[in-house]
Amino acid sequence: MADPGTSVAPYWELTFDADGDPDGAERDRLLAEATGHGVRDLIVFAHGWNNDRSGATALYRHFFAPVPGLAPKARLGYAGVIWPSMRFCDEPIPDFPKSVVAAEAEESPAPALDKDTRRALLETFPGRATVVDQLARMLDQRPAGALEEFGRLVRLLVEVLPGGPQPLYAADTVAEGVPQSEPVLFSGEATRLCEEFAGAVASLREGGSAAGFTLPNPWDGAKELLRQATYYAMKRRAGIVGERGLGPVVGQLAQVAPGVRVHLVGHSFGARLVSFALRGLPDGVRTVKSVTLLQGAFSHYAFAARLPQDPQASGVLHGRQDRIDGPLVCCYSHFDEALGTLYPLASRMADDCESALGADVARLLGERWGAMGHDGVQAVPGTGLLDLAAALRGPLAASGCVNVDAAAVVNRGGPPTGAHSDIVHPELARLVLAAGRIG
């Protein structure tokens, strides 16, 4: 049956906690009903930046809406993954109503952390109310000489401490005999990081040109430091939910309904989640027939057997595309400013380039620490490259990785994230169907 908040049927939800544990009743309902509804192809979508169930459901409702008309003879089912992530409420989403926060931000710059974002931080990082209050106060007051303390509080909020052991899935590469440094986001001087983020955000707001002759105030980058640290924690969490949660559920579905073909779709960190689900699939399960990544917010080297800059290291998911009985389709767009500029700045390691952000440094950081949602899967031999029109003409490759330049439709959105969330397009829904050979 259709959920009142969705546009398609049958539709199920799969809710996971931060440790990847599923809601048992929801999981059991899907396992019990999928065969009874006569589903042949099940599309499973995992959201990225999001604050609540209603926001995730709205995304699924909009994205899934054209699918029945595009494949009228297919026996389709739909599942929406709900997992604890968050976004800052001042980030606009194309085609969605402008939030009260975003509207207010156009009229007044204060407060730096609106009440909805503060609530989202508290729900995402429970037990950190005092830290969130301190961060909000410092962002408003901008006390002189306090950026290092601000950085310490940011690290305390997301529970990543410099010099200590990093949590599971902290990086997108796995060293083979090579020591791993920690992300500069958590080990570098907070003042320097805020300066770099301030320069990057100013450049984005000026359309990519230098922001005049005045150096931005480092406090202009402090909110971006908090945003990126928060998103780093969400990125880490997405891997856990995918491997420990979604992957095993897909394996259970294969046992009870072996005839159901599963198609995984993920946006942003949800793309990382569905990719890590491939690591969590039980041995021998071949029920995943396609994976479509929409503006994936994780390393473009994640599937590489060897990294160009370090042949002794491999991508954390190298070879996992072979668990798909079909293609892995990666959509990317150069209009995604969140992944093109801010992600490489936040993702680089402590032993990487120490220079301030400039054109050459930005290019080098993008090559080394870039996200696949900005330039596609990298360093995987045989990866196809198509623009969206060619991909839709098809047919797509029967296996392996395929990069699809989706900039023809993924191109709307203002700073600091650009077109990162501009994914609700019938063309992308058609691409999901093409990847899975549905209809």
Q: Give Cα 351 distance to the centre of its chain.
A: 25
pLDDT of residue 385: 97
Q: What is the pLDDT along the chain (439 residues), one digit of tens a residue?
A: 445 456 799 999 999 999 999 999 999 999 999 888 899 999 999 999 887 888 899 999 999 999 999 999 999 999 999 999 988 877 767 766 655 444 444 445 558 899 989 999 998 888 999 999 999 999 999 999 999 999 999 999 987 544 444 443 445 765 444 445 567 788 889 999 999 889 888 888 776 554 444 578 899 999 999 988 898 888 889 999 999 999 999 999 999 999 999 999 999 999 999 999 999 999 999 999 999 999 999 999 999 998 887 788 889 999 999 999 999 999 999 999 889 888 888 877 554 444 444 444 455 555 777 899 999 999 999 999 999 999 999 899 999 999 999 999 999 988 888 999 999 999 999 999 999 999 8
List C-alpha distances in Å: 433 to 41, 76, 94, 353, 396. 10, 11, 23, 42, 11
pLDDT of residue 349: 58
**Half-sphere exposure of 396 toward its Cβ, with a 13 Å CA cutoff?**
32
pLDDT of residue 21: 97
Is the CB of residue 330 less than 8 Å from the CB of residue 404? Answer: yes
pLDDT of residue 231: 87
pLDDT of residue 179: 44
Is the CB of residue 217 less than 8 Å from the CB of residue 191? Answer: no
DSSP string computed for 366-394: HHHH-BHHHH---S-TT-EEEEHHHHHHS
